[in-house]
């Protein structure tokens, strides 16, 4: 009965992690792999992962590469072990920061570039002799886009807080 309750408690967390890994743009099966590895006390080989999750070694290998690329797991070394071993990185705060800062910066840059290009185009349009209604619409759009640009500048400062780790001066990590 106790073993079953332990497994149920673990499975609930693994299933939740699996369902929410789309945040990191990965499949639920990679999420299950991460969740299973989270509860392991020792690093695991691909064979151990395959046996535990009843998935192919190819799937395990692909999942491991994905999780390494996301900086969520790492390859570790153990004396006398010939096979590669992997374990969950213990610093979730750093994992979150690394992943989301990269994605936020990419999104901010893309949106800022689009805003700046549209602002230039609208400014040129406003210099032309256009009907009053079009002028009002162009000015309203310019105001909206300028507001968005201000938001992206603010968001860049938020990312700076994470990258500099100053965010932890504002909100303490729970260890």
105 part of a folded domain: yes
Mean pLDDT value across residues 85-106: 89
Q: Is 39 part of any domain?
A: yes
Domain of 120, in residue numbers:
93-170
Least confident of 79-83, 118-122, 136-140: 79-83
> For position 74, what pLDDT does the model report?
93
**CATH number for the domain that contains residue 63:** 1.10.10.10
Report yes or no on 153 lying in a domain: yes
Give the pLDDT confidence of 27-57 residue by residue, as tens digits.
999 999 999 999 999 999 999 999 989 988 8
Question: Is the predicted pLDDT of residue 167 greater than 90, yes or no?
Answer: yes
Higher pLDDT, 2 or 146: 146
pTM for the model stands at 0.72
Q: Is the pLDDT of residue 175 over 80?
A: no
161, 170 Cβ separation under 8 angstroms: yes
Q: Count up the domains in the chain and report the number.
A: 2
Separation between Cα atoms, residue 145 and residue 112, nearest integer Å: 9
* Report for 15-24, 40-49, 83-92, 146-155: range of highest mean pLDDT: 146-155
| Domain membership flag for residue 101 | yes
3-state helix, strand, coil in the chain (%, to 5): 75, 5, 20
Last residue of a domain, one of 32, 63, 89: 89
Q: Are residues 30 and 66 in the same domain?
A: yes
Average pLDDT over every residue of 141-163: 96
pLDDT in tens, 67-85: 998 889 999 988 888 899 9
Give burial (CB, 10 Å; 0-12/13-18/19+) of 33: buried
- Among the candidates 89, 108, 139, a domain finishes at 89
Domain boundary (28, 62, 89) is at: 89
Q: How far is CA 162 from CA 47, 77, 99, 168, in A?
A: 37, 30, 11, 8
Q: Is the pLDDT of residue 95 over 80?
A: yes
């Amino acid at each position: 009965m106790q073993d079953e309750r332990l497994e149920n408690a673990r499975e609930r967390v693994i299933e939740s992690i699996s369902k929410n890994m789309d945040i990191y743009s990965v499949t639920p099966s990679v999420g299950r792999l991460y969740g299973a590895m989270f509860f392991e006390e020792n690093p695991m080989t691909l064979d151990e992962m395959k046996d535990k999750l009843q998935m192919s070694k190819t799937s395990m290998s692909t999942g491991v590469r994905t999780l390494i690329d996301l900086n969520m797991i790492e390859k570790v070394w153990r004396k006398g072990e010939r096979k590669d071993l992997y374990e969950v990185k213990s610093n979730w705060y750093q994992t979150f920061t690394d992943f989301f800062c990269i994605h936020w910066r990419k999104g901010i840059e893309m949106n800022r570039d689009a805003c700046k290009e549209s602002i230039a185009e609208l400014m040129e349009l406003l210099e032309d002799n256009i009907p009053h209604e079009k002028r009002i619409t162009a000015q309203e759009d310019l105001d909206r886009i300028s507001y968005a640009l201000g938001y992206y500048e603010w968001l860049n400062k938020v990312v700076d807080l994470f990258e500099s780790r100053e965010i932890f001066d504002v909100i303490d990590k729970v260890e």
